[in-house]
Amino acid sequence: MVFPNPTASQSRRQRLQWVLAQWAGQGIAPEESKALRIWIQALVTIGIVSITVAAWGVAPASILNLVAIPLSALGGYWSWRRRHQPNITAKFVIAFGMLMALGIFLARLLGESTDIRIKLAELLIHLQVLHSFDMPRRKDLGYSVVIGLILLGVAATISQTLTLAPFLLLFLAIALPVLVLDYRARLGLPFQGPQELQGLPTPGRLLVLVALTVAIGLGIFAALPRFPGYQVRNFPVSATIDFQGEFTGEQIFNPDGETLEGGGSSDIQGTESTAGPGQLDETYYYGFSRRMNQNLRGNLTPKVLLRVRSQAPGFWRVMAFDRYTGKGWEVSRDDRIEILERSSFSYQTILPESAFRPGLIDTELADKREVIQTYTATTSLPNVLPALYQARRLYFPTRQAAIDAEGGLRSPLPLSPGLTYTVISQIPQRDRTRLGQASTDYSDTIRENYLQVPPEVAEKVRQTAMDLMAQSPAPLTNPYEKALFLAQSLKQNYALQPDLPFFDEEADMVEAFLYEYEGGYGDHFSTVLTVMLRSLGIPARLVVGFGPGEFNPFTGYYVVRNTDAYAMTEVFFPGYGWFAFDPIPTHEVLPPEPRQSQTFSVLRQFWHWLAGWLPSPVTGWLNDGFRAIANLLARLFQSLGQGWQRGFLVLLGSITAGFMGWLLWLGSRTWQQQRWLQQLPPMERLYQTLLTWLSQQGFPKTATQTPWEYAQSLGADPNFSQGSQVGTIIQAYMDWRYGSQPQNVDTLQQQLKALTRQRP
The mean pLDDT of the chain is 81
pLDDT tens digits for 245-283? Answer: 788 878 887 775 444 444 433 334 333 345 678 888 888
Q: Is 509 exposed, middle or buried (0-12, 13-18, 19+ CB in 10 A)?
A: buried
- Write out pLDDT tens, residues 116-134: 788 888 899 999 999 999 8
- The tally of domains found in the chain comes to 5
b (16+ CB within 10 A) / e for 743-757: beeeebeebbeebee
Q: Report the pLDDT averaged over residues 623-643.
A: 63
Do 506 and 370 belong to one domain? no
CA 144, CA 41: separation in Å to the nearest integer?
A: 8
Residues 6+ apart with CB under 8 A from 465: 486, 532, 533, 535, 536
DSSP character for 253?
B
Instruction: Give the per-residue pLDDT at 694.
Output: 85
344 DSSP assignment: T
Q: What is the CA radius of gyration of the chain?
A: 37
Strands 540-546 and 316-321: antiparallel
Q: How many CA atoms lie within 13 A of 553 on its CB side?
A: 17
Alpha-carbon torsion, ordered 123, 128, 133, 138, to 10 deg = 140
Asked whether the bond before 638 is cis by omega within 30 degrees of 0, the reply is no
What pLDDT is attached to residue 268?
40
Instruction: Please give the average per-residue pLDDT across 101-116, as a whole number.
Output: 79
User: 410 and 473 in one domain?
Assistant: no
17: phi then psi, degrees, rounded to nearest 5: -60, -40
More confident residue, 205 or 616: 205
**274 vs 256: CA distance, rounded Å:** 20
Regarding whether 531 and 383 lie in a shared domain, the answer is no
Measure CA of the first residue to CA of the last residue in the chain; give whole Å. Answer: 56
Residue 642: CB partners within 8 Å, gap ≥ 6?
none
Write the DSSP string, 49-79: HHHHHHHTTTS---GGGGGHHHHHHHHHHHH
Mean pLDDT of the 562-590 span: 92
User: What is the band of 450 on the pLDDT scale with cuts at 50, 70, 90?
Assistant: very high
Residue 528 in this model has a pLDDT that exceeds 50: yes
User: What integer pLDDT is reported at residue 527 of this predicted model?
Assistant: 95
Report CA-CA distances (Å) from 692 to 627, 682, 689, 698, 760. 42, 15, 5, 10, 14
> Tell me: the pLDDT tens digits for 461-505?
999 999 999 998 888 889 999 999 999 999 999 999 888 888 888
Please check whether residue 12 lies inside any domain of the structure: no
% pLDDT > 90, the chain = 24
Instruction: Please report the pLDDT score of residue 2 as a whole number.
Output: 45
66 near 48, Cβ under 8 Å? yes
Residue finishing a domain among 577, 601, 625: 601
Q: What is the reported pLDDT for 323?
A: 92
Does residue 684 belong to any structural domain of this protein?
yes
* CA separation for the pair 509, 502 (Å, rounded): 10
**Segment 318-375, tens digit of pLDDT:** 999 999 998 899 998 877 888 888 887 778 888 876 544 555 556 778 888 888 999 9
pLDDT in tens, 741-754: 888 888 888 888 88
Burial group, residue 716, by CB count within 10 angstroms (0-12, 13-18, 19+)? exposed
Structure confidence at residue 245 (pLDDT): 79
- Same-domain pairing of 716 and 574: no
Query: Considering only 19-28, 85-94, 597-606, which range has the smallest mean pLDDT?
Result: 19-28
Neighbour tally for 4: CB within 10 Å? 9
Q: 259-263, 300-304, 713-717: which has the minimum mean pLDDT?
A: 259-263
In a domain, 136, yes or no: yes
Task: Clarify whether residues 169 and 196 are in a common domain.
Answer: yes
Instruction: Answer with the one of 170, 191, 223 that is the final residue of a domain.
Output: 223
pLDDT of residue 754: 83
Q: Confirm whether 658 is domain-assigned.
A: no
Do 402 and 496 lie in a common domain? no
**Residue 16 pLDDT:** 63
Amino acid identity of 625? G
What are residue 5's phi and psi, to 5 degrees? -60, 140
Nearest to 292 by CA among 509, 532, 529, 587: 509
Is residue 68 pLDDT above 80, yes or no? yes
> In terms of Cα–Cα distance, which of 234, 212, 175, 229 is closest to 36?
175
- Model confidence over 171-221: pLDDT tens digits? 888 888 888 888 777 776 655 555 556 666 778 888 888 888 888 887 777
What CATH number did the domain enclosing 541 receive? 3.10.620.30
Res 1 pLDDT > 50: no
Phi-psi region of 359 (alpha: psi -120 to 50; beta: other; left: phi over 0): left
308: left (phi over 0), alpha (psi -120 to 50) or beta: beta
Q: Are residues 318 and 375 in the same domain?
A: yes
Cα separation, 349 vs 651, in Å, equals 35
pLDDT of residue 71: 92
- pLDDT in the model for residue 608: 65
The set of residues, in sequence order, having a beta carbon less than 8 Å from that of 275 and lying 6+ positions away, is: 293, 295, 325, 326, 327, 328, 505
Q: Domain of residue 128: give its range.
A: 18-223
pLDDT at res. 44: 92
CA distance 48 to 70: 11
Q: Does 5 map to a domain?
A: no
Residues 310 and 168 in one domain: no
Does 297 fall in a domain? no
Can you tell me the mean pLDDT for 507-517? 90
Q: What are phi and psi for residue 348, nearest 5 degrees?
A: -80, 130
Alpha-helical (H) ranges within 679-706 are 682-696
Residue 99 lies in a domain: yes
Q: Give the end of a domain, one of 610, 640, 670.
A: 640
CA distance 512 to 504: 9
76 and 218 part of one domain:
yes
φ and ψ at 226, to 5 degrees? -105, 110
Q: Say if residue 586 is in the same domain as residue 619.
A: no
What is the per-residue burial (b if ≥16 Cβ within 10 Å, else e) of 265-275? bebbbbebbbb
pLDDT value at 287 more than 80: yes
Alpha-helical runs (H) found in 470-592: 479-493, 509-512, 522-535
User: Is the pLDDT assigned to residue 10 strictly greater than 80?
Assistant: no
The C-alpha atoms of residue 411 and residue 421 are separated, in whole angstroms, by 11
User: What distance in Å separates the CA atoms of residue 476 and residue 485, rounded to the nearest whole number?
Assistant: 8
- CA-CA distance, 602 to 221, in Å (whole number)? 8
| pLDDT score of 545 | 94
Same domain, 124 and 184: yes
Q: What is the C-alpha to C-alpha distance for residues 131 and 137, in angstroms, rounded to an integer? A: 12
Are 611 and 593 contained in the same domain? no
Residue 250 lies in a domain: no
Instruction: Determine the Cα–Cα distance for residues 253 and 412; give it in Å rounded to an integer.
Output: 9
How high is the pLDDT of residue 451?
Answer: 93
Name which of 17-26, 165-174, 594-603 the model is least confident about.
17-26
Chain centre distance of CA 184: 39
